[in-house]
Amino acid sequence: MFTPDRSKYPEIVDGKAVIDLDSGKYLKLWQGPQHPGVTGNMSLELIVCGDEVVDCKTHVGYLHRGFEKLMERRKFIQNFPIVCRICVPEPDTNEYLYAAAVEEVAGIKIPEQAKWLRTLNMEMSRLTSYLMWIGGHAGAFGLGPIGQWAVTHRDYMLDLFEEWTGGRVYHMYMIPGGVRNILPDGFDRRLEDTLQKIEKLMSEIEKVMLNNAVFKMRAVGLGIITKDMIDRYGVVGPIARAAGMKRDVRKNSPYLMYEHLDFDIITGTKSDAYERLLVRFREMFQSIDLIRQIMKYIDNSKNIHTKLPNVLHWKIPAGETYVKAESTRGEYGYFVVTDGSELPRRVYVRGPSYSHAVALLEDLIINVNIADVAGLMTSLHTYPPEIER
């Protein structure tokens, strides 16, 4: 077991580390923005002592495209192809939340079948996003092949999305008022085939990753988040659940058709990187189960869209609302303010990575070996575009 020499560590004065870069004891190191171990385009300004991190600053801004500002200058319907671009691996949460917020302010009710199709879309996107994540997480610990397997299976899911919605990555499927398409013929059979392939993949990942001694030695005990940190840092989603918190927006504030589905909140106890992997791993199985449950309610003969006013001159009365949904990272939300005109006054996107990747990561990374920084980041499952919308 590695025991670091504590005498080399910075002196702590008034709760702050005194770091003198000229002393020759420390090295400033940039991890990112181009680094295979960094999720997306962000960078960490690390100060290391030996191979342990003693200070960290998160830098974002490499991916800023000004979505919130763009949306203020576009009509409600013009914004709907923009919102999915905010999160690449899981765009459907953004689509749903934007549509739901606009519908709520405008007072539109959507047909039940559209809600089922939206729920199906959300669960499929959850599974797709987790597949990408598990590949990245394995890669961060040096288990490269798992990344290739997982991304291949993500592609099978993207094929399904393509035949259903016409788009592979950005689906632009949930428009205000309902959804765009019914399921194509034979979709249920091909979906079931893909789910079985993913289940087989998961059993293989369990053998080579979850039961891998090297992986366990690195991941167990990495980045422990105690229960009292959860609220102080605004931690949500699987990270909070891995600490034993029964918090899931799907269950606590049910939206769409989740109240009709049978599932439990999956929690862990140890709250380290390995436990977070276990929670997400079980949620992938849960997601597969939910997709099978939802498919029983899909009926292609029913209405899937409400009639809207002319969307090019659609004025929505003044109001404000906040809608939220459970994404793979936790509570995702849209705060929309309207002022009675054809354009939204303000659209604010609340992404869970906002607190995870800045305030939480900067404190959690202290005393972590630089080889494990990538693993710690992926175990927090951060996506920079949520921080710098």
Partner 1 sequence: MKEIIQRLKQQFTISNVNQQRVDLTFLSVKKEQAVSLISYLRDFEKFSHLVFLTAVDRVEDIQFQLTYMLHNYNTHQDLGIRVLIDREKAEMASIHHLWKQAGTYQRELKEMFGIDFPGSPRVDESFILEGWDNIPPMRRDFDTKKYSEETYFPRPGRESHDPESYMKSKLYPEGDA
Structure tokens at 193: 């085939």
Look at the chain and count its residues.
Answer: 389
* 350 scored as a contact of partner 1 (CB under 8 A): yes
Of 252 and 300, nearer to partner 1 (C-beta) is 252
Residue from 152, 252, 300, 367 in contact with partner 1 (CB under 8 A): 252
Structure tokens at 171: 């689906």
* 69 scored as a contact of partner 1 (CB under 8 A): yes
Segment contacting partner 1 (CB under 8 A): 81-89, 132-140, 270-278, 357-365? Answer: 357-365
Instruction: Name residue 360's amino acid.
Output: L
Decide: 245 and 228 in contact? Cβ < 8 Å: no
Residue 63 Cβ vs partner 1, minimum distance, rounded to whole Å: 9
Residue from 4, 66, 142, 340 in contact with partner 1 (CB under 8 A): 66
Of 139 and 333, nearer to partner 1 (C-beta) is 333
Residue closest to 218 by CA, chosen among 29, 1, 372, 11: 372
Cβ contacts of residue 342 below 8 Å, gap of 6+?
Answer: 75, 76, 313, 314, 315
Residue from 29, 74, 104, 314 in contact with partner 1 (CB under 8 A): 104
* 325 scored as a contact of partner 1 (CB under 8 A): no
Of 64 and 260, nearer to partner 1 (C-beta) is 64
Helix, coil or strand: residue 83: helix
* 81 scored as a contact of partner 1 (CB under 8 A): no
Residue from 20, 200, 312, 348 in contact with partner 1 (CB under 8 A): 348
Residue closest to 284 by CA, chosen among 342, 163, 203, 388: 203
* 232 scored as a contact of partner 1 (CB under 8 A): yes
Of 235 and 291, nearer to partner 1 (C-beta) is 235
Residue closest to 295 by CA, chosen among 121, 145, 84, 154: 121
State how far the Cα of 253 lies from the Cα of 97, in Å rounded to an integer.
Answer: 14
Of 114 and 361, nearer to partner 1 (C-beta) is 361
* 65 scored as a contact of partner 1 (CB under 8 A): no
Of 54 and 349, nearer to partner 1 (C-beta) is 349
Residue from 68, 155, 162, 289 in contact with partner 1 (CB under 8 A): 68
* 295 scored as a contact of partner 1 (CB under 8 A): no
Site string for partner 1, 272-291 (x = CB under 8 A): --------------------
Residue closest to 296 by CA, chosen among 247, 260, 253, 332: 260
Of 360 and 380, nearer to partner 1 (C-beta) is 360
* 144 scored as a contact of partner 1 (CB under 8 A): no
Q: In DSSP terms, which residues pair with 330 in a beta bridge?
A: 327
Of 76 and 130, nearer to partner 1 (C-beta) is 76
Residue 12 Cβ vs partner 1, minimum distance, rounded to whole Å: 17
* 381 scored as a contact of partner 1 (CB under 8 A): no
CA of 65: how far to CAs of 68, 85, 289, in Å? Answer: 9, 10, 36
Residue 22: is it exposed, middle or buried by C-beta count within 10 angstroms (0-12/13-18/19+)? Answer: exposed
Q: What is the DSSP letter of 305?
A: B
* 363 scored as a contact of partner 1 (CB under 8 A): yes
Residue 369 Cβ vs partner 1, minimum distance, rounded to whole Å: 24
Q: 147-206: which residues touch partner 1 (CB under 8 A)?
A: none
Instruction: Name residue 96's amino acid.
Output: Y
CA of 207: how far to CAs of 43, 204, 210, 213, in Å? Answer: 33, 5, 6, 11
* 234 scored as a contact of partner 1 (CB under 8 A): yes
Residue from 26, 116, 156, 233 in contact with partner 1 (CB under 8 A): 233
Q: How many CB atoms lie within 10 A of CB 299?
A: 12
Helix, coil or strand: residue 45: strand
State how far the Cα of 39 lies from the Cα of 36, in Å rounded to an integer.
Answer: 8
Where does this chain bind partner 1 (CB under 8 A)?
Answer: 60-61, 64, 66, 68-69, 72-73, 104, 231-234, 236, 245, 247, 252-253, 319-322, 324, 331, 333, 335, 337, 345-346, 348, 350, 354-355, 358-360, 363, 388
